[in-house]
Amino acid sequence: MNMKDHILAALGEQLEAWETLLAGMDEAQMAIPHLPSEWSTQDEVAHLRAWQQRSIARVDAARSGREPVYPAWPAGLDPNSDDSTEQINAWIFASNRGRPWTQVHREWREGFLHFLEAGAAVPERDLLDPSRYAWLDGIPLASILLASYDHHQEHLEKTTAWLQAHGMGKDRR
């Protein structure tokens, strides 16, 4: 198995782990804030979807041989800067409050599947070449795929730990 296949397989396993976790919860549990945070499981998934859109824009651009077209973000906030992360996450949280769980879940899942499909369409040499896409400033596109995996894993671990601590879940990984 080549590196691209390993990365895509890991992302597929990440999707499966999330879907297993989510299938074990009802809508009421999805909406419970993970105190001391205000964020619920639904908010975590909406957060992942918002950041996922930037990753999709990059992979779609690579697939189409063009510059990325990013989703609209608040003016003055740079998603590529760690200095803006807290403000962006607060904007994502506020923007998604009150949205129906079915819509949040559907958009995240469809986005994840699209991300996998688009990643599969990029040749491995292009995924691994740090000089292939000038708009990535020397970062290989594979790093975008791996960062999505890591981001999902970070939130999966936090959500799973919170559910277990509150008797609502068990380790499904």
Q: What is the pLDDT of residues 139-173, one digit of tens each?
A: 999 999 999 999 999 999 999 999 999 887 654 44
Question: What average pLDDT does the segment 15-25 reach?
Answer: 96
Please report whether residue 142 resides in a domain. yes
Q: What pLDDT, on the 0 to 100 scale, is given for residue 83?
A: 76
Token readout for 156 is 């999966």
Give CA–CA dist 47/154, Å, rounded. Answer: 12
State how many domains the chain has: 1
Please report whether residue 44 resides in a domain. yes
pTM summary value: 0.93
Give CA–CA dist 91/38, Å, rounded. Answer: 13
Q: What is the pLDDT of residues 91-130, one digit of tens each?
A: 999 999 989 999 999 999 999 999 999 999 999 999 999 9
One-character DSSP codes across 96-159: HTT--HHHHHHHHHHHHHHHHHHHHHS-HHHHH-TTS-GGGTT--HHHHHHHHHHHHHHHHHHH
Q: What pLDDT, on the 0 to 100 scale, is given for residue 153?
A: 98
**Domain boundaries, position 99:** 3-13+38-70+82-165
Please report whether residue 18 resides in a domain. no
Please report whether residue 23 resides in a domain. no
Token readout for 139 is 């970062």
Identify which has the larger pLDDT, 82 or 55. 55
Please report whether residue 28 resides in a domain. no
Q: CA angle at residue 83 from 82 to 85, to 5 degrees?
A: 60
Please report whether residue 171 resides in a domain. no
Give CA–CA dist 28/41, Å, rounded. Answer: 10
Q: What is the pLDDT of residues 58-78, one digit of tens each?
A: 999 999 999 999 988 888 877
Asked whether the predicted pLDDT for residue 36 surpasses 90, the reply is no
154 three-class SS? helix
Please report whether residue 29 resides in a domain. no
Let me know: does 99 contact 57? Beta carbons within 8 Å.
no
Please report whether residue 32 resides in a domain. no
